[in-house]
């Protein structure tokens, strides 16, 4: 089974070809440089940039997979048949989602292949299965899924492929969003996650302490208070108008703040996941999404695993942030289960639901 997949939910334009669990190509064009000067993703710029780049990224993915250019001749592809075209329906930015939707439909019509719209967050979950360029690991069910990305923080119980129940989700800022906003407060580059991680690594011991939003009565998450705690700390150190005046803490303090913030986010994610395991009796956890690339978070989860014997699986770092490979896998697993139905409409607020 050969699958062509498109991903343009936020600020990465990505296309891949998956052949029976083996990636033939997975091209990711990041818009980071475009958004950097705004310290965050500007939706309209993102949509336009996807539109400008999608043909190039598609061409690169096809030629890396061995298709000759021009790859369409008289509506027919010169090369092995592509059985299905898959795209992320959402969640994501509306204009950005449209680009994949239109490109995928055009490709499926030209190729005469099936068209499937899948859930981007399910992609982050399934990304765990890639090892190198092949989806050779299998998620063992039942398990707890923790998705930590720029727009979402979600805890699920997963009973099988396409059988997901949401236990808790973001009430305000997602974990990645909190990283991005704290980076902005500290004058660090976008995207905030990698910048904060790099700064935190410069510091041994923090000396600062930020609250852990455990919210014991729910599995939902709230990271906006933690971001505000960092802002208050900076205000106390630098004055109430530190942000307007672009005042920054010393490099040593900045590193210590980054470390303390990372600790607070990681402790919260570990604590709530451990509680979800205790509550459900499930001892396996799969973690995906951009924030899952964070080394401190990975280390803390490994400590949990050593302490309580839970099986913890992280997506490989390169598959944590957005990519089309994870989208292709959603299609592959769905087709293998013969569950091909579902809407093709883009859905910016799409929640994770079980397959139709
Ligand atoms: O999953 P993703 O690529 O996009 C969304 O679906 O949102 O996640 C992007 C988010 C950003 O907020 C970014 O700052 C964060 O993931 N991120 C990280 C790291 N790498 C990316 N956060 C913490 N540590 C990292 N190493
Ligand atoms: Zn994502």
For ligand 1, the distance from its centroid to the CA atom of residue 176, given in whole angstroms, is 5
Q: Domain of 241?
A: 143-315
Asked if 324 and 310 sit in the same domain, the reply is no
Whether the CB-CB separation of 210 and 227 falls below 8 Å is answered with no
Asked if 269 and 175 sit in the same domain, the reply is yes
Residue 356's pLDDT band, with cuts at 50, 70 and 90, is: confident
Asked if 48 and 154 sit in the same domain, the reply is no
Whether the CB-CB separation of 214 and 225 falls below 8 Å is answered with no
Domains in the chain, number: 2
Whether the CB-CB separation of 273 and 311 falls below 8 Å is answered with no
In a domain, 294, yes or no: yes
Question: Which stretch of 59-68, 173-182, 190-199 has the lowest confidence by average pLDDT?
Answer: 59-68
Ligand closest to CA 41: 1
pLDDT exceeds cutoff 90 at 78: no
Q: How confident is the model over 180-190, as a mean pLDDT?
A: 96
Look at residue 79 in the predicted model and tell me its pLDDT. 86
Output the pTM of the full model.
0.96
pLDDT 10s digits, 4-58:
999 999 999 999 999 999 999 999 999 999 999 998 999 999 999 999 999 999 9
Backbone angles phi, psi at 79, to 5 degrees: 150, 180
Look at residue 72 in the predicted model and tell me its pLDDT. 56
Q: What is the CATH number of the domain that holds 26?
A: 3.30.420.40
Tokens 């669990």, residue located: 21
Query: In sequence order, what are the residues at sequence separation of 6 or more whose Cβ sits closer than 8 angstroms to the Cβ of residue 116?
Result: 84, 85, 86, 87, 330, 331, 334, 335, 340, 342, 344
Tokens 């998956």, residue located: 18
Answer whether 180 contacts ligand 1 (Cβ < 6 A).
yes
Look at residue 354 in the predicted model and tell me its pLDDT. 86
Which residue puts its alpha carbon closest to atom 7 of ligand 1? 150
For ligand 1, the distance from its centroid to the CA atom of residue 51, given in whole angstroms, is 23
Tokens 């390169």, residue located: 318
**Rounded to whole angstroms, how far apart are CA atoms 89 and 350?**
8
Q: Among 149, 201, 264, which residue has the most ligand 1 atoms within 8 Å of its CB, making it the best to mutate?
A: 149
Answer whether 151 contacts ligand 1 (Cβ < 6 A).
yes
Asked if 286 and 332 sit in the same domain, the reply is no
Answer whether 293 contacts ligand 1 (Cβ < 6 A).
yes
Asked if 160 and 260 sit in the same domain, the reply is yes
Answer whether 291 contacts ligand 1 (Cβ < 6 A).
yes
Tokens 């600062």, residue located: 208
Whether the CB-CB separation of 30 and 8 falls below 8 Å is answered with no
3-state secondary structure at position 25: strand
Atom of ligand 1 nearest to the CA of 180: 14
Which residue puts its alpha carbon closest to atom 10 of ligand 1? 150
For ligand 2, the distance from its centroid to the CA atom of residue 11, given in whole angstroms, is 9
Is the four-CA dihedral 179, 181, 186, 190 of positive or negative sign?
positive
Asked if 306 and 176 sit in the same domain, the reply is yes
């Amino acid at each position: 089974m050969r699958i062509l997949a498109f991903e343009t939910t936020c600020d990465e334009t990505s296309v891949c070809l998956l052949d029976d669990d083996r990636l033939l190509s997975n091209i990711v064009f990041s818009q980071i440089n475009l958004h950097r000067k705004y310290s965050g993703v500007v939706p309209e710029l993102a949509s336009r940039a996807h539109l400008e780049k999608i043909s190039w990224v598609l061409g690169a993915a096809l030629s890396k997979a061995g298709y000759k250019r021009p790859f369409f001749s008289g509506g027919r592809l010169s090369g092995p048949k592509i059985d299905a075209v898959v795209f992320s329906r959402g969640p994501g930015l509306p204009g950005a989602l449209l680009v994949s939707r239109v490109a995928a439909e055009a490709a499926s019509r030209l190729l005469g292949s099936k068209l499937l719209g899948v859930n981007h967050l399910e992609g982050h979950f399934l990304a765990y299965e890639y090892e190198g360029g092949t989806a050779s690991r299998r998620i063992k069910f039942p398990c707890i899924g923790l998705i930590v990305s720029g727009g979402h923080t979600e805890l699920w119980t997963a009973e099988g492929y396409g059988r997901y129940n949401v236990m808790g989700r973001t009430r305000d800022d997602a974990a990645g969003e909190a990283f991005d906003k704290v980076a902005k407060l500290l004058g660090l580059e976008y995207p905030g996650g990698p910048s904060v991680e790099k700064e935190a690594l410069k510091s041994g011991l923090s000396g600062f302490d930020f609250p852990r939003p455990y919210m014991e009565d729910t599995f939902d998450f709230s990271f906006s208070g933690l971001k505000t705690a960092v802002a208050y700390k900076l205000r106390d150190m630098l004055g109430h108008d530190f942000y307007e005046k672009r005042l920054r803490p010393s490099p040593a303090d900045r590193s210590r703040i980054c470390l303390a913030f990372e600790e607070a986010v990681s402790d919260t994610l570990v604590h709530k996941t451990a509680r979800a395991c205790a509550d459900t009796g499930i001892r396996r956890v799969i973690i995906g999404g951009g924030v899952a690339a964070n080394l401190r978070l990975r280390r803390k989860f490994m400590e949990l695993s050593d302490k309580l014997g839970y099986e913890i699986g992280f997506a490989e770092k390169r598959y944590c942030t957005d990519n089309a490979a994870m989208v292709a896998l959603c299609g592959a697993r769905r087709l293998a289960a013969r569950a091909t139905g579902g809407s093709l409409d883009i859905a910016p607020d799409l929640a994770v639901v079980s397959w139709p």
